[in-house]
Amino acid sequence: MNSEKQYLVENLNLVSLVEWFNQYYAVKKSGEEFNVSDIQGYVCRKRVPAYLGGEEIEINLEKVKGVRCYSIVKNEYQGK
C-alpha cells in the first residue's frame, strides 16, 4: 500500500477550483453548476460531498502571491 498522497488537482485558487468542479463533476444533485458559495462550504468542511466521492480538501498553508490555494486528495478506493 502506497502511503504517498495522490491528488486529483493541486494548488488551485478558489475561482479555479469552482471551474475545476464544473468540469470534473459536471453538476450538483440539483442539476445546477457549482458556484463559489458551494466550494467555500466544501472547503470549510475540508471534504467534497459524499455523493461526489468524499475526497479530502487540503488548504495549502503557503499562499501563492497572497492567494490561498487548495488541493483535492484522491481517495485510495476511488477508481476515477
Look up the domain containing 29 and give its range: 7-73
Decide: 80 and 21 in contact? Cβ < 8 Å. Answer: no
Whether residue 58 is contained in a domain is answered as yes
Predicted TM-score (pTM) of the model is 0.83
Whether residue 25 is contained in a domain is answered as yes
**How many Å apart are CA 15 and CA 35, to the nearest integer?**
9
Whether residue 13 is contained in a domain is answered as yes
**How many Å apart are CA 11 and CA 9, to the nearest integer?**
7
- pLDDT, averaged per 10 consecutive residues of the chain (80 residues), comes to 81 96 91 96 96 94 85 75
Whether residue 78 is contained in a domain is answered as no
